[in-house]
Amino acid sequence: MGIISGTYMLEVICLSLSIICIACITCHPLKKYIQDWNTLRHVPNWKGAWPVIGNALEFSSNASDFFNQIIEGTMEYRHLPLGKVWIGPVPLLVLFHAETIEGVLQSSKHIDKAIFYRFLHPWLGTGLLTSTGDKWRGRRKMLTPTFHFSILAEFLEVMNEKTEVLLKKLETQAGREPFNCFNYITLCALDIICETAMGKNIYAQSHSDSEYVRSVYKMSDIIVRRQRAPWFWPDLIYNLLGEGKEHDSRLKILHSFTESVIKERAESIDNTSSDNDSDHVYKRRRLAFLDMLLKATDDEGNYLSHRDIQEEVDTFMFEGHDTTAASINWAIHLLGSNPEVQTKVQQELEEVFGSSACSATVDDLKRLRYLECVIKESLRLFPSVPLFARTVSDNCKINGFNIPKGVNAVIIPYALHRDPRYFPDPEEFRPERFLPENSTGRHPYAYIPFSAGPRNCIGQRFAMMEEKVVLSSVFRHFSVRACQSREELRPMGDLILRPEKGIWITLEKRQH
């Protein structure tokens, strides 16, 4: 009894110390906490929150269970305009209706990312994803031209080349037992982003056990676990724990890799510029986002520092492969589960490509209108980023409720996209919803797979191009049958929406 009591007391002391640290470190002193508690008392609670601890102990540490708790809450409280939960001393508004989300996302004021994004800072610094205020505005303005469609078209060769490698990998599985395709697609997307972002071929599809590849995945998992556990938020405590030490170890691997690539690329550009036939030499090398970052200047003509460039390269690597890979995987599952839709996709592919084995061109991709509807409907049901958060930057009203400055608003596209007012029979897979005649009049904030407003995703056209290339190639060569029901997928809402046990399919080669 004494041992149990002592252990219990130790846990209480640790939790209490963590709460005290959290209250100080996250800039939520007691006065602010009490003010927020009083101001927000009229906002409906999802659950009864404990003082200081809030709802933190009510949420599961298992990623699938945690996400299901969130989604069950949105279903249970769908009749409410918004909800509220507390994670430790931090209040979170929960928004999943187009009308309340619009007030946050369309504003040029509420562009700061929520407190939870600070855990990405050690990896990504304050690049385009995590920066705020004037730095974000300046960086966005500087980087927007690099995502012009004419520049994106230059990356099509890389996308086709890496997809060819994927097809060879998938061919070994054709006509065989069910297999998990999730990793195949993810490694292909990683190959694409590495070469388009950095001009570096890491051969992820052939070397999936590389330290860098493993560290990209591991770091994402580490960050998500920390975000969900307030007692891990204080750096002082976290850095003493095993997971904190692994975080630092993975960080060194990721940063040393991108640092070496940036240095190598910068030296290559210097050497090229000193060559007598520099234009000819430059044209022989494939374009990469990194090349444009090395040449980018702000309004005053200042170049980005190598540290600034590393922030953006690391951000491209993080944002540019996992999200797209997840979306492609969900689309494969949905097409494999709906053979009549798959038939329509393949009919369109035959109309565009005929019996040709040639790679897709920009004009081909423009003609794949039904496939584009399939991708959009897949993103409706399974948005790659199932929830994200902003900080309310000024006192305001949302749906008549007073919201104090500094509160974090969590926006849940996964629930938003299932609003039956805008998407009747929301669980059904119907790509026709996104035909022009069926989209007219829909609330502009009812569908936000790439966020919306001034801080929408800068890379959405890149993502759509890549998804069209990969999916058109897969379904030109194979017929797919899904081997899981929707219920068996158990989505995990980490930083990216993934199925708990992958995407299991069978493949049959198509006859041309």
pLDDT bucket at 18, cuts 50 / 70 / 90: low
Q: What is the distance between the alpha carbons of residues 487 and 470, in angstroms, rounded to a whole number?
A: 26
Q: Which fold has domain 2-509?
A: Cytochrome p450 (1.10.630)
- Higher local confidence (pLDDT), 302 or 122: 122
491 φ/ψ angles, rounded to the nearest 5 degrees? -60, 140
Predicted pLDDT of residue 12? 53
Q: Is 292 exposed, middle or buried (0-12, 13-18, 19+ CB in 10 A)?
A: middle
- Give the Å distances, CA to CA, from 333 to 169, 341, 434: 18, 12, 19
Hey, where are the domains in the chain?
Answer: 2-509
Strands (E), 375-493: 388-391, 396-398, 401-403, 408-411, 478-482, 491-493
Q: Please state, in angstroms and as integers, the Cα–Cα distance from residue 417 to each residue in 429, 442, 485, following that order.
A: 12, 12, 20
pLDDT per position as a tens digit, 82-113: 888 887 778 889 999 999 999 999 988 888 88
- Number of DSSP helices (H) and strands (E) in the chain, helices first: 22, 11
Hey, what are 353's tokens? 């490509």
Residue 413 pLDDT exceeds 50? yes
pLDDT at 17: 56
Q: Are the C-beta atoms of 463 and 324 separated by less than 8 Å?
A: yes
| pLDDT reading at 7 higher than 80 | no
Q: What is the pLDDT of residues 273-316, one digit of tens each?
A: 555 554 444 445 688 899 999 988 777 777 888 899 999 999 99
Residue 387 makes CB contacts below 8 A (sequence gap 6+) with: 70, 410, 411, 412, 413, 414, 493
Looking at residue 170, its pLDDT comes to 98
* DSSP state, residue 80: S
Tens-digit pLDDT profile for residues 164-173:
999 999 999 9
CA 236-242-244 angle, 5° bins: 45
pLDDT in tens, 441-452: 999 999 999 999
Does the pLDDT of residue 27 top 90, yes or no? no
What's the pLDDT at 282?
43
459 token code pair? 């890379």
* pLDDT value at residue 280: 47
Give the separation between CA 83 and CA 60, rounded to whole angstroms: 19
**What's this model's pTM, rounded to 2 decimal places?**
0.89
**pLDDT tens-digit profile of 210-261?**
788 889 888 888 998 888 787 888 898 899 999 999 999 999 999 999 999 9
